[in-house]
Amino acid sequence: MGLAQTLGMQVLDASPESTRVRLRVTEAGLNVHGTAHGGLLFSLADEAFAIISNLKAQAVAVETHLSFFRPARPGDELVAVATPERVGRTLATYRVEVRRGEEGEVLALFLGTVSRRAGVS
């Protein structure tokens, strides 16, 4: 059990080049305006970020930046797509797009940096 399960996330694929996680927006994930809570979008992006950054190293999140572009609504299927920006020896930065559907528009853009110890699969 954990937050990913609590919020109904599903890992679509996980590789160092691209990791995708899916989630359907339900009432349990809304804010007071009736749209997806910022925390829901972040949690989805952060899960993809955590998975991709830990595939080939032991990684701990240092900081993240999230830009909100468009609201998500109940019933929307969100897909977070994480890709590496730069993977160094002790630090790595990843980009995560939160999309409406696998090919849909970008609702939020996440950038995150981890501190890592390589080779500790």
Q: Which residue in 6, 10, 17, 102 binds its own copies (CB under 8 A)?
A: 6
CB 111 within 8 A of CB 94: yes
Cα(34)–Cα(19) distance, integer angstroms: 29
Phi, then psi, of 93 in degrees rounded to 5: -125, 135
Residues 14-73 that bind its own copies (CB under 8 A): 27-32, 37-40, 42-44, 46-47, 49-50, 54, 60-69
Provide the CA 25 distance to its chain's centre, in angstroms: 14
CB of 98 to its own copies, least distance (A): 12
User: Could you say whether residue 89 binds its own copies (CB under 8 A)?
Assistant: no
**Among the listed residues 97, 63, 95, the one whose alpha carbon sits nearest the alpha carbon of residue 80:** 97
Which residues contact its own copies by CB under 8 A? 1-7, 27-32, 37-40, 42-44, 46-47, 49-50, 54, 60-69, 85-86, 88, 90-91, 93, 106, 109, 111, 113, 115
